[in-house]
Amino acid sequence: MTTFTVSIRFSCLVTLWVFTMVFSGFAHAQAGRVSIGTVPPVQLEAPIEMPSWFSNGTPGNDAWIALGALEQAASHGLNPADYQAEALATAFQTVRNGAGAEQLSRLDERLTTAVVRYLSDLNVGRLDPQELQHRFQKPVSGAFDARSYLAEVRQADRLDEALQKPRENIPMYEALRSMMNEYRAMGDHPAWLATLPPLQSRSLKPGAEWSGLPIVAARLGAMGDLPRGIPTSTLYDGALVEAVRRFQERHGLETDGVLGRATLVELNVTPAQRVKQMALTLERLRWTPLLRGPRMIVVNIPEFMLRAYEVVDGKVEIELEMRVVVGRALDTRTPIFLEDMRSIEFSPYWNVPLSIARGETLPRLRRDPGYFSREGFEIVTRDGRVVNELTDDAIAAVQRGEWRIRQRPGPRNSLGDIKFIFPNDQNIYLHHTPSTGLFPRARRDFSHGCIRVEMPLELARFALKLQPEWTPKRIEDAMSAGRSRTVALREPIPVLLAYSTVVIKNSGKVYFFPDIYQQDGKLEQALRTLRPSN
């Protein structure tokens, strides 16, 4: 799937990841074209007073609309208890037959406070992403004034509309919300009330028998992976194998059709657990800056996918999508942030980070000095002098951090033949790689934190689209020149490294991906701390 502010004025020209849509991910929600137009704001010349929720001493129509929306807050992944939905509904029922002015005044303000909170949560989220160490922010203070917005929509008789969806159209939001509510309706399905028996071996391959297959078939049928009316038995073959492959594809697994441990773990996740996962994704979508500009690049880390898109006539059009390799979950995680791509380096040098030099490169050079010349390394002194001879003194200087080691451009360079630069304080960038064998894998967290891209030429063409002098032939020549050259982009392109474990794509199908960096767990805990009722 993130990242990814949510309450953005289109007049500022949208802020974007497609999650995504990354979360596509995010932009596939409407067959590759997703409207990002906004509901026209009510034009008012001066602030207006909040209308009362009561008419002639009894609750008006707006009151019941508001109470209904608060009671249905879970349909947006929000918690009705945060807005005192049940208590307010009871109180308003109590005063239907009349109440004193003081009681009505208190109740009027209680409902206003609850709806203002709900509108704020719906439009900009409950949490500041920086609390999760994401390097982007919610809208600045005052960018969305929920109380003024409530007064505006009530005066314009648009309360129902305003309470049913965020003010700005958020990529993938409505499709994900609809899917979440489908899974919620699946909560009492008998397929998850039964327990799968243990396998007799480590995995079940096509052609084998297992007594748990009818339960598996029932779950796959409920989720739409197995067509209705397919007869099932204890023999694992035919349509059931194909259904398992579809399930594996939708859950970020190897699509081998084998019922192994990883596939069974995902099959045992209940609809209620998926609802919670989708609710967390909706929260993340509300504050992930998915619409930052007219052109954007979004990497959804758990999905191991990159998408590049443009906003054309108010719609998001995906220009490019490709597989990527991201940082290892164990120790070198790719950070979540938003920065502007400003340049491209063709035939780049690789300046080996000191941590990698100390932990990997120098130990290898001590064991095998010939590795230095075979891999095209050189050492650069503090004053910029290049040293092409490996000596004990040079190794010691690099170890101390006084000198640095780098790899020359060429076919063995770890960055491949191109590097996409979006300056940041963590030295993260996109780049090609001479080792392409990892891209076909389902799980692709193998890097030191930077992001390896599958289709560098196509990404370069997208980045340089506004610079027509950079033809495809000229780009290819620069990539293969063997001489480092840096080209500044005429217009910076926002690059969002986002995080979404749920994505709606491929004609409305829902995809779930492993929470490789435990970000869903951290978000859930942060929300629980912020709102103990959750």
The pLDDT value recorded for residue 46 is 55
The length of the chain is: 534
The pLDDT value recorded for residue 171 is 87
pLDDT band at 29 (very low <50, low <70, confident <90, very high): very low
The pLDDT value recorded for residue 136 is 82
The pLDDT value recorded for residue 139 is 55
Rg (C-alpha) for the chain, rounded Å, is: 27
pLDDT band at 101 (very low <50, low <70, confident <90, very high): confident
**Torsion from C-alpha of 135, 140, 146, 148, nearest 10 degrees:** -170
Q: Give the burial string for 182-199 (b: 16+ CB within 10 Å, else e).
A: bbbebeebebbeeebeeb
Query: Does the annotation count 450 as an active-site position?
Result: yes
Q: Which two tokens stand for residue 395?
A: 């190794």
Report the mean per-residue pLDDT for the chain.
89
Nearest residue to 125 via CA among 532, 522, 416, 531: 531
- Alpha helices (runs of H) in 34-84, residue ranges in sequence order: 61-71
The pLDDT value recorded for residue 235 is 96
The pLDDT value recorded for residue 20 is 40
C-alpha to C-alpha distances, 458 to 267, 306, 442, 445, 462, nearest whole angstrom:
37, 12, 22, 22, 6
The pLDDT value recorded for residue 166 is 94
Query: What is residue 251's three-state secondary structure?
Result: coil
CB 52, CB 150: distance < 8 Å: no
The pLDDT value recorded for residue 395 is 95
Query: Beta-carbon neighbour count of residue 337 at 10 Å?
Result: 20
What is the H or E stretch that residue 213 is in?
Answer: helix 213-223
CA atoms within 13 A on the CB side of 531: 17
Q: Is pLDDT at 33 greater than 70 in this prediction?
A: no
- Residue 314 is classified by DSSP as T
Which is the catalytic residue, given 28, 251, 432, 450? 450
Q: Is pLDDT at 471 greater than 50 in this prediction?
A: yes
Q: Which two tokens stand for residue 37?
A: 């137009």
The pLDDT value recorded for residue 84 is 95
Q: Which residue has the tokens 């996409």?
A: 420
pLDDT band at 265 (very low <50, low <70, confident <90, very high): very high
485-512 mean pLDDT? 96
The pLDDT value recorded for residue 140 is 53
Q: Please give the Cα distance from 136 to 132 (Å, whole number).
A: 10
Nearest residue to 325 via CA among 301, 353, 360: 301
Q: Among residues of the chain, what percentage have pLDDT more than 90? A: 78
Which is the catalytic residue, given 28, 134, 431, 448? 431
Q: Which of these ranges, 111-120, 288-297, 355-364, 413-422, has the smallest mean pLDDT?
A: 288-297
Q: Which of these ranges, 16-30, 197-211, 426-440, has the smallest mean pLDDT?
A: 16-30
Q: Is pLDDT at 413 greater than 60 in this prediction?
A: yes
- Alpha-carbon 369 to chain mean position: 43
The pLDDT value recorded for residue 6 is 30
Query: What is residue 101's three-state secondary structure?
Result: helix
The partner residues of 15 in beta bridges, in order of sequence, read: none
Secondary structure in 3-state letters for 387-422: ECCCCHHHHHHHHHCCCEEEECCCCCCCCCCEEEEC
**Phi and psi (nearest 5°) for 493?**
-115, 120
Q: Is pLDDT at 93 greater than 90 in this prediction?
A: no
Q: Please give the Cα distance from 19 to 500 (Å, whole number).
A: 6
Output 158 or 23, whichever has higher pLDDT.
Answer: 158
Q: Please give the Cα distance from 297 to 426 (Å, whole number).
A: 18
pLDDT band at 534 (very low <50, low <70, confident <90, very high): low
Sequence-separated (6 or more) residues with CB below 8 Å from residue 425: none
The pLDDT value recorded for residue 466 is 96
443-460 mean pLDDT? 97
pLDDT in tens, 359-383: 999 999 999 999 999 999 999 999 9
C-alpha to C-alpha distances, 51 to 1, 93, 121, 360, nearest whole angstrom:
40, 20, 22, 67
Q: Is pLDDT at 44 greater than 60 in this prediction?
A: no
81-102 mean pLDDT? 87
Q: Is pLDDT at 25 greater than 90 in this prediction?
A: no
The pLDDT value recorded for residue 23 is 43
Q: Is pLDDT at 201 greater than 70 in this prediction?
A: yes
Q: Is pLDDT at 137 greater than 80 in this prediction?
A: no
Q: Is pLDDT at 358 greater than 50 in this prediction?
A: yes
Nearest residue to 287 via CA among 399, 408, 122: 122
Query: Beta-carbon neighbour count of residue 396 at 10 Å?
Result: 12
Query: Does the annotation count 448 as an active-site position?
Result: no
Q: Please give the Cα distance from 150 to 142 (Å, whole number).
A: 14
Nearest residue to 460 via CA among 449, 471, 451: 471
Pairing of strands 54-55, 337-346: unpaired
160-167 mean pLDDT? 94
pLDDT in tens, 329-353: 999 999 999 999 999 999 999 999 9
The pLDDT value recorded for residue 30 is 38
CB 300, CB 17: distance < 8 Å: yes
What is the H or E stretch that residue 343 is in?
Answer: strand 337-346
Angle value at C-alpha 339, between 337 and 340, nearest 5 degrees: 160
Q: Which residue has the tokens 């694992």?
A: 236
Nearest residue to 101 via CA among 63, 155, 51, 58: 58
Q: Please give the Cα distance from 332 to 326 (Å, whole number).
A: 9
199-224 mean pLDDT? 96
Question: All domains of the chain, ordered by start, with CATH?
Answer: 39-167 (no CATH), 190-269 (1.10.101.10), 350-407 (no CATH)
**Torsion from C-alpha of 393, 399, 403, 407, nearest 10 degrees:** 100
The pLDDT value recorded for residue 399 is 96
Q: Please give the Cα distance from 214 to 299 (Å, whole number).
A: 38
Q: Between the ranges 6-10, 229-233, 485-489, where is the mean pLDDT highest?
A: 485-489
The pLDDT value recorded for residue 313 is 80
The pLDDT value recorded for residue 363 is 95
> To 10 degrees, what angle do helices 456-463 and 472-479 make?
120
Q: Which of these ranges, 21-30, 341-350, 449-458, has the smallest mean pLDDT?
A: 21-30
pLDDT band at 3 (very low <50, low <70, confident <90, very high): very low
pTM: 0.87
Q: Which of these ranges, 41-55, 98-112, 150-164, 181-195, has the smallest mean pLDDT?
A: 41-55
Q: Please give the Cα distance from 131 to 319 (Å, whole number).
A: 33
pLDDT band at 290 (very low <50, low <70, confident <90, very high): confident
Q: Which two tokens stand for residue 399?
A: 């170890």
The pLDDT value recorded for residue 169 is 83
The pLDDT value recorded for residue 387 is 94
